[in-house]
Amino acid sequence: MLKGPRYPAPDKIMEHTARRKACLMKAMRNTLSLLYTLLLLLVAVDSRAESLELELLEETLTIERFPAQGKQLVLYVAPGYGFNQRGTATARALADLGIEVWMLDLAENFFIPHGNESSHHFDGRYVAVVIEQAHAQSGKNITLLTSSFGAIPVLRGARQWQRNNAELKQPYLNGAILFSPELYRSIPALGEEPEFEPITSATNIPLMIYQSELRNNRWQLDKEVQQLQQGGAMVYQKILPDVVSFFYEIDELPKTLQTLRELPKEFPRIIKLLQTTPTPLTVAALTQPVTERSKGLDIKLKKYRGNKTPQPFDLVNIDGQRVVRKDFRGKVTVVNFWATWCPPCIEEIPMLNRLRQKMQDRPFELLSINFGQEKAIIAEFLQQVQVDFPVLLDEKGRTAGEWNTVVLPSTYVIGPDGRFAYAVNAAIEWDSPEVVKALERLAASQAVD
């Protein structure tokens, strides 16, 4: 049985034989993961799926349809990276339960490159007219479904549908089911609070949020819900324990595979819950100004802004030894949050190894904190990838939440004065001359009380 996520080997840190072995293992895991997921869901490719072409707003939209005889229809809007085998298998499972599913990939329809950025591109009009067309063709009530950044076009579409149908006597939109939604306008710099898309606080339809417990946005959920409730949305929540991401195929944890098999069975009850929660036809006020947004990911060492006092932590390392840090004064301390399922995290490990080597004669410490993974998974990873610095275990990611991380990797640099000096919310070249010189200058500075 596959025990945990797959992970790529970083370039330039393994010999040819090891790279070849890693490629063979990855290919085998890919094949087994696909077969195992499909087996667990008890679905196979069948002839039920059909393509619809809708002429809407002077555009032709292609929809993948899984028909069913029941009275409910799920409009499944793809997240930024499109649909994968798990998404399609979930649609089939819902059809087996009598819930019709329409699958809409906006980026694919408009020939926009897939990625999280594509979710910000669309206003609500296309989702709104597909909601209307789905009801017109089927006579069924509609529930929206998406994950991650797909929540942005979905909520925009729901609001536009409300505007288009303000005269309806009986709403047929039940609400939306969101998996680990990410409604950020851009990824915030470390130390700063996330800024949410204006639609977040201008949403008032009923929502069901399934949040993966081990996903890196877990500890931002409360802030997101508060924003949604500002517009009057009734938000139901459920944490999916021991799951990295429901639709993330690299997550092969046994609990995730079990959830994939069992969770669709909850949908009839959740849809009924949303349907019996009133859906307003009057839109919530759009109070936040729409401003130009940045992509938000750092490309170099960045000065830290925000509360400069690090939170203490009390963790154990991969060898079971307790590591406590309350006072960071006296040296430069680099704290790197990461996970084995995060490719950029893995790519920067050799550079962090080299940084540690270059700083060995300085007052310097490098610590890594793994986000919410089992010890056995990390130990297996460390047998294949050389990591020259301590690895601490953040079991459920609580320490990452206390440090207000939003994405992985996230790396903090603490100066000899015990205060944050720099932070980076992406992978960078840690062994570059510019970074090394900056850390050497920091190490040479005088600690202050």
Condensed to tens digits (0 to 9), the pLDDT of residues 300-339 reads 999 998 899 999 999 999 999 999 999 999 999 999 999 9
Q: Is the pLDDT of residue 94 over 50?
A: yes
pLDDT at 103: 98
pLDDT at 170: 87
242 and 307 both lie in a single domain:
no
Residue 292 — very low, low, confident or very high, per pLDDT cuts 50/70/90?
low
Q: Which two tokens stand for residue 370?
A: 């793994």
Q: Is residue 404 part of a domain?
A: yes
- What is the CATH number for 320? 3.40.30.10
248 and 314 both lie in a single domain:
no
| 271 in Cβ contact with 99 (< 8 Å) | yes
Q: Please, what is the Cα angle at 442 between 309 and 302, to 5 degrees?
A: 65
Residue 52 bridge partners (DSSP): 63
Q: Is residue 17 part of a domain?
A: no
CA distance 330 to 265: 55
Q: What is the pLDDT of residues 338-372, one digit of tens each?
A: 999 999 999 999 999 999 999 999 999 999 999 99
50 and 186 both lie in a single domain:
yes
Q: What is the pLDDT of residues 367-412, one digit of tens each?
A: 999 999 999 999 999 999 999 999 999 999 999 999 999 999 999 9
Say what the alpha-carbon torsion angle 115, 121, 294, 432 is, to the nearest 10 degrees. Answer: 20
Q: Is residue 449 part of a domain?
A: no
Higher pLDDT, 429 or 16: 429
Q: Is the pLDDT of residue 449 over 70?
A: no
Residue 75 — very low, low, confident or very high, per pLDDT cuts 50/70/90?
very high
CA distance 279 to 277: 6
Contacts of 110 (CB under 8 A, 6+ apart): 59
User: Which of the listed residues 260, 276, 292 is the one where a domain comes to its end?
Assistant: 276
Helices 254-262 + 85-96 axis angle, to 10: 40
Could you give the C-alpha distances from 182 to 216, 356, 394, in angstroms and in order?
11, 34, 22
Residue 246 — very low, low, confident or very high, per pLDDT cuts 50/70/90?
confident
Q: Is residue 230 part of a domain?
A: yes
Q: Which two tokens stand for residue 389?
A: 């610095």
271 and 309 both lie in a single domain:
no
Q: Is the pLDDT of residue 45 over 90?
A: no
CA distance 285 to 283: 6
| 183 in Cβ contact with 196 (< 8 Å) | yes
Share of the chain above pLDDT 70, in %: 87
pLDDT at 40: 44
pLDDT at 17: 33
pLDDT at 289: 63
Q: Is residue 205 part of a domain?
A: yes
Residue 259 — very low, low, confident or very high, per pLDDT cuts 50/70/90?
very high
166 and 223 both lie in a single domain:
yes
Higher pLDDT, 297 or 239: 239
Cα–Cα nearest to 212, from 170, 186, 182: 182
Higher pLDDT, 67 or 43: 67
- What is the CATH number for 69? 3.40.50.1820
Query: What string of DSSP letters covers 267-309?
Result: HHHHHHHHHHS---SSPPP--S----------SS-EE--S--S
Domain interval for residue 230: 42-276
Q: Is the pLDDT of residue 178 over 60?
A: yes
Q: What is the pLDDT of residues 329-341, one digit of tens each?
A: 999 999 999 999 9
Q: Is residue 117 part of a domain?
A: yes
Category of 167 on φ-ψ map: left (φ > 0), alpha (ψ -120 to 50) or beta: alpha
85 and 214 both lie in a single domain:
yes
Residue 42 — very low, low, confident or very high, per pLDDT cuts 50/70/90?
very low
Q: Is residue 154 part of a domain?
A: yes
Cα–Cα nearest to 105, from 63, 152, 53, 55: 63
Q: Is the pLDDT of residue 114 over 60?
A: yes
321 and 263 both lie in a single domain:
no
CA distance 304 to 424: 8
Residue 60 bridge partners (DSSP): 55
Cα–Cα nearest to 424, from 444, 446, 440, 439: 439
187 and 335 both lie in a single domain:
no
Q: What is the pLDDT of residues 129-147, one digit of tens each?
A: 999 999 999 999 999 999 9
**Count of domains in the chain?**
2
User: Which of the listed residues 241, 276, 311 is the one where a domain comes to its end?
Assistant: 276
Lowest mean pLDDT among 17-26, 102-111, 321-330, 420-429: 17-26
Q: Is residue 11 part of a domain?
A: no
237 and 378 both lie in a single domain:
no
Q: What is the DSSP letter of 167?
A: T
pLDDT at 253: 85
74 and 211 both lie in a single domain:
yes
210 and 306 both lie in a single domain:
no
358 and 431 both lie in a single domain:
yes
Cα–Cα nearest to 84, from 38, 131, 122: 38
